[in-house]
Structures are given as C-alpha cells and as structure tokens.
Structure 1
Amino acid sequence: MTDAFGRAILDHHRGEREVNCREASERASGSERSKRHASRESPLWQCDGEERLRHPIEDFYFGEFDPDSEAGAWLVERLDGPLVDLGAGAGRDALYFQERFETVALEVSERLLETLRERGVEDARRGDMFDLRSQFERDRFRSALALGTQVGLAGSMRSLREFLGDLAHVTTPDATAVVDMYDPEYGDADEMLGFRADPTPGLAYRVTWFEYEGDADEALLFRLFSPDRLREATAGTGWAVTDVYRPGDAYYYRAALAKR
C-alpha cells in the first residue's frame, strides 16, 4: 500500500524536497531557474477526480504550537495529562504537550511514525485510533486530542458513536477530549474539495486522496457532521459536547467534549 502523504511529510522533515529544488536550480539561471525551482518542488497534491489542490505541508504540519494564540489557548484550557494524541501527524501538538504532561502520540502511518520520533516525540506508537480498546487499558488517559478531521473517517453516525464509546473506555471518568470536523451546513462548505451532498440535515461526505511524486494513496471517505449531529452521536457514549469553536468563523470547527 502506498503512503504518499506520509512520505511527503517525512521528506519535508528531512529536507529532501528542498534538496531536489536546489539541485534543479543549480542547473538554471534567471527566470528559467525560478520556473524550474517551482516545477521541482515535489508538491503534495490533494485530489478529487481531475481537480487537485496543493497541500500546504509547512503551514499545516511544521509550525510551532502557539499557546498564546486564541486557538492555542482554547485548546490548552481543555486538555490535561495523560494525553493521547490521535493521528498525531508531524507532532506539532505532541511536542508541545509532552513538555507539560505525559503524552502518547498515535499514528497509523509508519512514515509519520518515523517523522514523530525523529522530531523528538518521546512516546510515538503505531496504532489505529478506531481500535482503542485493543491498544490501551481502561481509564488510561485524562484527555484525548484528535485534530486533522480524521474522526470523520468513522464514516457513519453509528461508527462515530462506537469510536466515542471506545474513547470513553480508555479515558478516566472525568476526562475531556477535543475533536475537529467540517460542518456541511455552514458557510461555503459545499465548495470544499471532494464535497458530496447528503439529503440528511447536518450530514455530508467528502472524498479525497493524496498524490506525491507519482504515487497516489487510496481515496479517503470522510463523513461530515454538523455540531448538532455530533451532539446526537454522543448519546449513550458517556460524552457531552461542552463547547464549539470556529477559528475564523468557518465551516471548520473544533468541539470540546467532557464526560457526563
């Protein structure tokens, strides 16, 4: 199975994408050098059919966590340790929180796991966020973090409820959690890459995949849940939605959860 996304992140971390750019520019000059530099950047593409967008690796994954920003402060107030970072990516959040309390970073991609460890994440493990009960004991964590909209990979209301139930099992009775999603009913959500409408209020799908240096990952099917649908999914799981935060007042949102 290809891992175009994970390979692009690891290459960026190791500086191999930039090396390719420099090698190309050394053989050119002036405007030609600029054109070749741009053409040899080995971009990570996010795709849907013939449509594609360049995915901003540096901005999304390698910026430092800023606890003094509005978004950072909102997050810090809602998390405590031990913390599990589900789908930790390149480790931006794990690197910050591990300096404050025990943090376990979970990633399904072997290349992302290499990135996490090379960047200094102390407890990075390969694992599936949708199989938590087999990986952690009951009451293992005080908080959970899942940023990157990967919770949408649950694919259905039923599977989302099962995920939340499993998350409740591996967290303490007074636990908190933060997840992020796309609200299909807010603003111009229907214009996002890969959007698929659904007649059911508060629900939609998103289909997209990544391509990098000729490799294409399998298509990802995300279920998009409005905050009201997320609240509905928490019924019977032990969780309640306590706050919803929309950075930039956009269709992207973060939801804070707490045990009932």
Structure 2
Amino acid sequence: MADPYGRAIRDFHRDEQDEPLIDRDGDESRDHAIEEYYFGEHTPEEWFEPRVDGPLLDIGAGAGRDALYFQERVETVALEVSEHLVTVLEERGVENARLGDMFALREQFGRDRFQAALAVGTQIQLAPSDHALREFLADLAHVTTPDGVALLHGYDPEAAVEEDVFACRSDPTSGIAHRVYHSEYEGEVGETLLFRLCSVDRLREATVGTAWHVADSRQEDVTWLAVLEKDE
C-alpha cells in the first residue's frame, strides 16, 4: 500500500526530502509541517507523566518524540502502522518499535501488558463510530493493568469548525465533526483518511460500559487532551 506520509517523514529524517508532503482535500491543499509536528522541541504533558509507573505503549508513535523520552525511565513500546515510520523510530534510537494496528491491540499484546498508554496525534479519531471507539477502549483496557492510565488526544469538533481547521467539516450531530484528506509525496498518493472528531463529552459517553472513565481533561486551542483511568 502506498505510504507517502511515512516515506516523506523518513526522507526528512535522513535529510533526503526534496519535495513537500502535501495534504489535499479536493481543491484545497497544504504543506505538511513535518519538522514542527514530529521533530521540534517536545516534553510530554507534566500532568500525565507522574501517572506513568510501568511499561508504556506509545500508540501512533510517529517519529518517536514521546517514546524516546519515556524509554529513559520505563519500558516503552512504540506502535506504528507505517513501515517507514518504524524505520525512523529505530534509526532515532527507539529500543522497541513495532509495526501494528492500533485498532487491533488484543491481537498484538497480552492482557495487562502495559501500565500506561498514550495516543497523541488525534489518531483515535480515525475510529469511524462510537461503537468502534468503545471497541478500541475495551481493547486498550485489556492490554493495560487494573491501575492503568491512558492519555488521549483529539480535535474539539466545535472549535475545529469555528477555526476552519484544514479539511474539517461540520456535522448536525452534537459533539461531532469530520476531517477528510489524503497525502501526496513525489507523485505517490495515499489513502483517504476520515477522522470522526468527537468532543470530550462524547469520549466520556463512549467510556460507559468499558473499564475507563475520564479522570481529567484539558483544552488546548482546537484540540483536547484527556486522561483516562480504570474504574475501581
């Protein structure tokens, strides 16, 4: 499968990128800010880090900013769906980089494998429905310990629509919006991505019936961060 997104980030890492990575939504396009998103200065959220006491799963690890930080003090597994990004992770010094699907965690890891997990980059909003989001949360609960904690990241639908975030579309359903775009690099076209943006309130509703509850959340411009803890 074509992977212009991962290949462009790999080329940037190797100082071999001669053309921009383009995100395209119909006639609208933008240059993807690779350096800013994946290689700039970064420190994990101070209000999440103290909750991490054991093995950590970095879901959608990108170029490894969080994995490189956390592996200095806890066992860290970096999960990526792109072979090119797994290569970047390994070349940057991530000790345990895995190729895998974030929506198939039970198939890749055993019960109670991790004490903590994070998914920073809004990738959880690739879940196409509330049901799919609940399934992801259930799988995440399965692979984390009873005292597990998770940090999730997403676009706030109302703020994203108001601020005209690239490729964002409103939805009549309360607490929901969408983003639709694909990436292009050196003539290679990637698959179209459909993000279902949900609010923290919708996330809170999605935890019902799972082992999780939203313990804390924060708004950051057009995105939110939410810490999930296990129910006692």
More helix by proportion, 1 or 2?
1
Distance across 1 between alignment mates of 2:24 and 2:219: 25
Counterpart of 1:145? 118
Using structure 1 for the length normalisation, give the TM-score.
0.86
Instruction: Tell me the residue number matched to 1:49.
Output: 26
Contact 1:176 / 1:257 at 8 angstroms: preserved in 2? yes
Which consecutive aligned stretches of 4+ in structure 1 deviate over 4 angstroms post-superposition?
Answer: 187-190
Write the distance in 2 (CA, Å) between the matches of 1:106 and 1:2.
19
CA deviations on 1:13-47 (whole Å, 9 max, x unpaired) are 11112xx4xxxxxxxxxxxxxxxxxxxxx111111
Distance 1:155 1:212, change over 3 A: same
State yes or no: 1:80 paired with 2:53: yes
How far apart, CA to CA, are the structure 2 residues paired with 1:162 and 1:233? Answer: 9
Count matched residues. 231
161 and 95 in structure 1: CA distance in 2 versus 1, 3 angstrom threshold:
same
**TM-score with structure 2 length normalisation?**
0.96
Q: Counterpart of 2:7?
A: 7
Give the letter aligned to residue 84 of structure 1.
Answer: L
Give the secondary-structure state (helix, strand or coil) at the position aligned to 1:191: coil
Whole-angstrom CA distance in 1 between matches of 2:167 and 2:84 = 25
- Alpha-carbon distance, 1:214 to partner: 1.3
Answer yes or no: is the 8 Å Cα contact 1:176–1:258 preserved in 2: yes
Structure 2 residue aligned with 1:256 = 227
User: 2:51 & 2:192 partners in 1: Cα distance?
Assistant: 33
CA distance in structure 2 between the partners assigned to 1:101 and 1:77 by the alignment: 12
Residues 156-179 of structure 1 show CA distances to partners (whole Å, capped at 9, x for unaligned) of 101000000000000001100001
Against the structure 1 CA distance between its residues 97 and 256, is the aligned structure 2 distance closer, same or farther, given a 3 Å change threshold?
A: same
Counterpart-to-counterpart distance in 2, 1:151 and 1:96: 21
Mind listing any 5+ residue stretches in structure 2 that lack a counterpart?
none
Shift of 1:80: 3.2
Query: Which has the higher Rg, Structure 1 or Structure 2?
Result: 1
Question: Over aligned residues, Cα RMSD in angstroms?
Answer: 1.3
- Percent of matched pairs sharing the same residue: 59
